Structure 1
Amino acid sequence: MAETSDNVVAGHGGQLALAALRAAGVKEMFTLSGGHVFPLYDAAHQDGFPLYDVRHEQTAVFAAEAVAKLQRRPGVAVLTAGPGVTNGVSGLTSAFFNAAPVLVLGGRAPQFRWGAGSLQEIDHLPIVAPVTKHAATVGSTDDIAGAVTTALEHALTPHRGPSFLDLPLEVVFSTGESKAAAPQVPLLEPDPDEVARAVRLVAGAERPVIIAGSDVYGGDATAALRAAAEALTVPVFANGMGRGSLPPSHPLAFAKARRKALDAADVVVVIGTPLDFRLGFGDFGSAQVVHVVDAPSQRAAHVTVAASPAGDLRTILTAFADHTGERRDHSDWVATLRAAEQAQAAKHELEMQADSELIKPARVYGELRKVLAPDAVTIGDGGDFVSYAGRYLEPSVPGSWLDPGPYGCLGTGMGYAMGARVTYPDRQICVLMGDGAAGFSLMDVESLVRQNLPVVMIVGNNGIWGLEKHPMRAMYGYDVAADLQPGLRYDDVVKALGGGGETVTTATDLPAALTRAFSAGVPYLVNVITDPTDAYPRSANLA
């Protein structure tokens, strides 16, 4: 690749794409090998650009999503044409629901022979358009760098999300030249009157509550959130990547008294997360709702809100912190919630220490918290078992919790683990999986082993699809299609793929097994046989 003046680069299509990616701060590609995208590999190889390959395309997109979320910059997956792209659609959709700035570069059958039946000839755009912010086919080699920059601008502009480009065979293999420039992302300024209305409601409330979601982290607004909460003395709960925005020791950080808080609150401030099933669709009884979002498109249409500032979250929350008008004393309210928090924490403590003949998920997390470092990245990939993780584990730092989010797609675990390990070479990476979720992606342990990306996997193995079996029994008195083979040795699968692992059947063996896992230096799976009768006490209305 040759570079001339004014950032104009010359080379084949892969080199032009790579120059634009580098200009945007992208540092790696995730892929599964395919001939349609060989020029992208050639560019990476010739330039010493990191290239990580996987065993299923969805893992590549999930890895790119993890990088995008953890590092707040674009993550890139390169997928071959046809089934390569369609295999990645669940990953694209997850990134869409999770506001992750992912770019998928897809191969495409040649345009000059379109309609003649080339290998893997299909128009990807109608498939991916509903789950991307921007989807386009690049028509000429000279357009590649500019098209990549435009796609990244769409991905990075709030409300963030994935973009897709496909590169016809003759376009990406040909040579050309184009300008590689950094994407320009506009700052969306909120309406100051709407911000003022919102902060007056919060400051004047008797019992306000803040719920902070993933966009607080994605918008780099965690410090502004903390300043706003402290200035207004408002208790903070969190979901998604909002978890850890305030450390658990902070006097305004709460996790276990949410139901009491929402039942009694007179103003609920939801920041950077949708009013979806996780929050009872925004139905907080008689409380007024303030919905703070990073873009007008994220305002809830199904809820009547008292105020909804939209725009840069740091700007909005800084205005909250700088409020000089009247504000009520919330100390009694905070003390009431703290008492409820402590009571619930005591209950959880007993659950996490309880002995039983069959291991309960609570006990697994009681032992795990003792060996998790404060900055460990914890990844959830499952149903009931991972729901318990949300109940018992409290991240200590922002940006250390990854879960599938509101789309609820299983199979994210190995991709998220790869992206997390690439992001943090020296931190603990811990993947929590149900045995059902393990079936989606465990083969990609081989990708982790081969590329020296050690992670710890803990499987809660109850031999069932717990999220379906227990509700179906409650509804119909029976269940079907909800059983797995009990006692499967998922650790043996990992060992066969070059990693390590062991099965645990007794709770007292958990501490030593977890210690071995985190010191192994290879992908290591602790296969915990858990009680199949233990059902997570779910209260959320999913629809």
Structure 2
Amino acid sequence: MESAKHAGDVAVAVSRSYGAEVMFTLSGGHVFPLYDGAVHEGMRIVDVRHEQSAVFAAEATARLTRRPGLAVLTAGPGITNGVSGVATAHFNGSPVVVMGGRAPKSRWGSGALQEMDHPPLFESITKLAFTGGGADSIGQDVEMAFRTAIAPHRGPVFLDFYMDHLFSPAPEHEAETLTPSPLEPDPDTLAGIARLLAGAERPVLVLGSDVWMDRAEDAARDFAESLGLPVVPNGQGRGILPAGHRLLATRARGMAFTQADLVIVAGTPLDFRLAYGMFGGRDGAPQAKVVHLADAPSQLATHVETAAAAAGDLSVLFWGLSAACIEAGVTPRSFESWTDRLAEASAAAVAGDAELLASDADPIHPMRIYGELNRVLADDAVVIGDGGDFVSYAGKYIEQRRSGCWLDPGPYGCLGTGLGYAIAARIARPSSQVVLLLGDGAAGFSLMDVDTMVRHRLPVVMVCGNNGIWGLEKHPMQMLYGYDVAAELQPQCRYDQVVTALGGGGELVTSPKEIGPALRRAFDSGVPYMVNIATDPQVAYPRATSGI
């Protein structure tokens, strides 16, 4: 039965029933009924300055709240501007629903403004991309989009609507909002993994982003602690074991991966970040056996031979493995000497870094920035990385004290995520510090969205490592060719003045002794504030091409 509601009202009401609380968008006439629906349904609207930031903000919302994020994009260029954000959500397994406008059905094929068939653009980077059937089916269409996005393995869904359908009356829709049934792992496979652990001497457990997204962080920590397994976190797996934990092997990562005889990788792909799943094999030692655990069968590695693989709800997987390991007689004593060796290597690495973390070198060494930043970060600070070399240092020297407090672009490596991520983080975590780490290259992609932060009163501390180059490209080109091209940026460019001009605050820092006071001013300011720090362009992050 038809009601007085239009299709935009129904679409937003269904979105809210699935936990979407904020609509990220950039104003466009094709989607006005969705805005009207947000007003009627009490959904917050945050309008940005570039559509990529809307999708990045929706993705960060999903990753921080573990509820689906929502972005609304107008037709044509509004939607094509969001493609990189959707691709990033695809590679990160983020449950994001992107709703798009579409030229009117009544004019389709006659050359209406921004007439374009959008779903084919998204077919390879979404779980589902489709056009709504009409005003009468809009409730079912939106429900299908959200159900698909949150089902394992999570990911983005694109749905567009003909403009005239959105403006039309639509029947109310009572969404069922069913929780996907957990996928149960095979008990025999878990028993086999337990036997592998029983026979191992040097195991390592890798905890990836899907452990956090699957709400399995407590089960994962219990599993690691009950067996005394050294842990290397990856992505949003950071913080599941807090900084300083005796089993945390982040600072001994190279030793852990090259000397391990068994590596259990949970909740992340065996991609370039993890040496494509090729561990061990150094100094005459055999290759390590690899076990892959994922939330869905589609995520299990096929490019490398694994000793075992299991898919299912990751909490259930860890609980089942714990029980199987007790049956197999695995205890923390089995790995004490290995854990002690890694702890010693970690302590030595920390001691070896102390000088650079406090360095008074001029120009500023990037590590000095992290030495200062670690002194002022709260336990629940949300730290966001958007950059190359500068953010690589953050991944090494900032260790989270709580889970769910780290965001980076993930394996797709898309620069420009930072402002959208920071906008979402400030909304999702209103009482926490939000720190955005920007390389000067990355700053050029999205800095205009400081205006969004100012208009919506979203204070964020931005720290820009400004070395005046594309460091991730310049140094390798010099090594390969003896010269570089297309790798220079303006030295000491005043990105802080851009922030100030847009209504925030900021300053340029050129002395290491100025870093700490500048950071404190930034946190005290109550506005979007950039600490723009001139760093040494000759310093390159010591990167290993193997992913180890």
Measured in 1, the distance between the counterparts of 2:158 and 2:134 equals: 16
The one-letter code of the counterpart of 1:398 is S
The structure 1 residue matched to 2:534, chosen from 529, 536, 539, is: 529
Query: What is the identity percentage for the equivalent residue pairs of Structure 1 and Structure 2?
Result: 56
CA deviation after TM superposition for structure 1 residue 383, in Å: 0.3
State whether residues 12 and 41 of structure 2, in contact with CA within 8 Å, keep that contact through their aligned partners in structure 1.
no
Once structures 1 and 2 are overlaid, which stretch shifts more, 56-65 or 140-149? Answer: 140-149
Measured in 2, the distance between the counterparts of 1:183 and 1:117 equals: 38
SS at match of 1:419: helix
- For residues 10-45 of structure 1, what are the alpha-carbon distances to aligned partners after superposition, in whole Å with 9 as ceiling and x for unaligned? 611110101101111111100000000000111112
Q: 2:324 aligned with 1:294, yes or no?
A: no
The one-letter code of the counterpart of 1:393 is I
**Structure 2 match to 1:308:** 309
SS at match of 1:30: strand
The one-letter code of the counterpart of 1:491 is D
**Structure 1 match to 2:383:** 378
For 1:100-119, list aligned pairs within 5 A: 100-119=94-113
Measured in 1, the distance between the counterparts of 2:66 and 2:256 equals: 31
**Structure 2 match to 1:513:** 518
SS at match of 1:528: strand
CA deviation after TM superposition for structure 1 residue 489, in Å: 0.5
Where do 5+ consecutive residues of structure 2 fail to align? 282-286
CA deviation after TM superposition for structure 1 residue 297, in Å: 0.5
Measured in 2, the distance between the counterparts of 1:180 and 1:508 equals: 60
- For residues 255-285 of structure 1, what are the alpha-carbon distances to aligned partners after superposition, in whole Å with 9 as ceiling and x for unaligned? 1101111111110000000000001111113
Measured in 2, the distance between the counterparts of 1:421 and 1:202 equals: 42
The one-letter code of the counterpart of 1:211 is V
**Structure 2 match to 1:353:** 358
Q: 2:67 aligned with 1:63, yes or no?
A: no
SS at match of 2:489: coil
Measured in 2, the distance between the counterparts of 1:10 and 1:147 equals: 19
The one-letter code of the counterpart of 1:459 is C
- For residues 318-372 of structure 1, what are the alpha-carbon distances to aligned partners after superposition, in whole Å with 9 as ceiling and x for unaligned? 1122232221511111111100110011112222112211001100000011011
The one-letter code of the counterpart of 1:306 is A
> CA distance change for structure 1 residues 542 and 264 in 2, over 3 Å: closer, same or farther?
closer
Once structures 1 and 2 are overlaid, which stretch shifts more, 460-469 or 533-542? Answer: 533-542
The one-letter code of the counterpart of 2:160 is D
SS at match of 2:43: coil
Measured in 1, the distance between the counterparts of 2:4 and 2:78 equals: 28
For 1:151-162, list aligned pairs within 5 A: 151-162=145-156
The one-letter code of the counterpart of 1:201 is L
Q: 2:401 aligned with 1:396, yes or no?
A: yes
Measured in 2, the distance between the counterparts of 1:379 and 1:460 equals: 13
The one-letter code of the counterpart of 1:263 is T
**Structure 1 match to 2:444:** 439
Q: 2:39 aligned with 1:45, yes or no?
A: yes
**Structure 1 match to 2:268:** 273
The structure 1 residue matched to 2:428, chosen from 423, 427, 430, is: 423
The structure 1 residue matched to 2:233, chosen from 234, 238, 246, is: 238
State whether residues 9 and 179 of structure 1, in contact with CA within 8 Å, keep that contact through their aligned partners in structure 2.
no
> CA distance change for structure 1 residues 212 and 179 in 2, over 3 Å: closer, same or farther?
same
The structure 1 residue matched to 2:498, chosen from 475, 493, 496, is: 493
TM-score (norm 2): 0.96
Q: 2:321 aligned with 1:327, yes or no?
A: no
The structure 1 residue matched to 2:28, chosen from 34, 47, 52, is: 34
Measured in 2, the distance between the counterparts of 1:168 and 1:364 equals: 50
SS at match of 1:349: helix
Where do 5+ consecutive residues of structure 1 fail to align? none
Measured in 2, the distance between the counterparts of 1:516 and 1:215 equals: 36
Measured in 1, the distance between the counterparts of 2:20 and 2:347 equals: 44
State whether residues 249 and 256 of structure 2, in contact with CA within 8 Å, keep that contact through their aligned partners in structure 1.
no
State whether residues 61 and 77 of structure 1, in contact with CA within 8 Å, keep that contact through their aligned partners in structure 2.
yes
Measured in 2, the distance between the counterparts of 1:272 and 1:87 equals: 30
**Structure 2 match to 1:82:** 76
TM-score (norm 1): 0.97
Aligned CA RMSD, in angstroms, stands at 1.3
Q: 2:462 aligned with 1:452, yes or no?
A: no
SS at match of 1:85: helix
State whether residues 382 and 425 of structure 2, in contact with CA within 8 Å, keep that contact through their aligned partners in structure 1.
yes
CA deviation after TM superposition for structure 1 residue 182, in Å: 3.8
Aligned residues: 537
- For residues 436-485 of structure 1, what are the alpha-carbon distances to aligned partners after superposition, in whole Å with 9 as ceiling and x for unaligned? 00000000000000000000000000000000000011001100000011
